[in-house]
Amino acid sequence: MRTRPLKVALLGCGVVGSEVARIMTTHADDLAARIGAPVELAGVAVRRPSKVREGIDPGLVTTDATALVKRGDIDVVVEVIGGIEPARTLITTAFEHGASVVSANKALLAQDGAALHAAAGEHGRDLYYEAAVAGAIPLIRPLRESLAGDKVNRVLGIVNGTTNFILDKMDSTGAGYQEALDEATALGYAEADPTADVEGFDAAAKAAILAGISFHTRVRLDDVYREGMTEVTAADFRSAKEMGCTIKLLAICERSADGTSVTARVHPAMIPLTHPLASVRGAYNAVFVESDAAGQLMFYGPGAGGSPTASAVLGDLVAVCRNRLNGTTGPGESAYADLTVSPMGQVVTRYHISLDVADKPGVLAQVATVFAEHGVSIDTVRQQGKDGEASLVVVTHRAYDASLSGTVEALRKLDTVRGVASIMRVEGE
């Protein structure tokens, strides 16, 4: 074993960063044995240096992150500060000064992953980011390496624990959205401002990363269709149960049938109770992968939190340090396929549509005519009514999103349709 340690700079020492530092200290001997050399925490960049950080030598703490990554003797930079800047500049500066990078920054990778990979390649350094998607769940490496010889066709997953906790509570207790959100906040699963989670921004960033790796195509955050879950109601869950389904906020990345294009989207969807993702409870994550040779695979586990995310960071750290010792680098960006990223309007899926209608003869015929005129085939219809008012629930066969949008607009113009109560996609059939 080499006795000279590999030096690690840590950018950020919050929930995840502090746990990374703790594991590096408490598991130092094991890490050294696995890598082939000791690893040494050489510096920790923070915003508030006066804060007491248990187990970290105060002499290592600095507010000058730029100077830390420019030192020249740093082998690996671990970036867990998040956001776009200064993280982007610090990472590229680290490459320029000879360090490889381990990051958990999903937002930055989804927006500028191609440029970061190019910078890593230019300087012969590694960029690893297992912790950016689904916390402790090994997912990036299996997609990038274990399935490198296979053809991935679809990735369907629950990649945000906060939203899954909220929807699970609504499903199991009958609670409304706000009530379930309040409980998630009280338990620490939701931030004071939960927008990034409940509006799907967090999941969309992860979907962009997963799609890019799975389909060997550059997919940016702007390419991902995003729809939040704040409009999901207890009534939607009752309708889902009547269909033998539940509701999840899903990240869905799929290759077109002809193999020439891909799509990436995040939105609430009904899924059958028989689907493996339906049984994912609480704040857990799970990702379902479908490929030609391997078939169907499911990855499941805690998707956030200090210890789970730090586990993924340390796994990358070990891999990058091994590469460093061997004078090699791991896999970089694979975007050779360069497939077209199609807009949401070209996505084909099923829909569950709930309408408030007048309770009188001929309504169903009018509604069915509108669907037919827009080329949307109806699978099932359920109607209930009394005292002049009724609800009409229509479940379609698979149709283009653009066709469904036109159908809904035409339905709103019917005198007999009082309103569109809800529209939800149906997945996983």
Kindly list the catalytic residues.
206
CA distance 338 to 31: 38
Burial class (CB in 10 A: 0-12, 13-18, 19+), 85: exposed
87 half-sphere exposure, CB direction, 13 A CA radius = 23
**417 beta partners:** 357
Name the helix (H) or strand (E) containing 382: strand 378-386
For the chain, helix, strand, coil in percent to 5 are 40, 25, 35
CA distance 82 to 429: 36
| SS3 state at 243 | coil
| SS3 state at 419 | strand
CA distance 60 to 62: 7
**Cβ burial 420-429 (10 Å sphere, 16+ → b, else e):** ebbbbbbbbe
With contact defined as beta carbons under 8 Å apart, do 144 and 155 qualify?
A: no
**155 beta partners:** 253, 289
For residue 413, which phi and psi values (nearest 5 degrees)?
-85, -10
Burial class (CB in 10 A: 0-12, 13-18, 19+), 110: buried
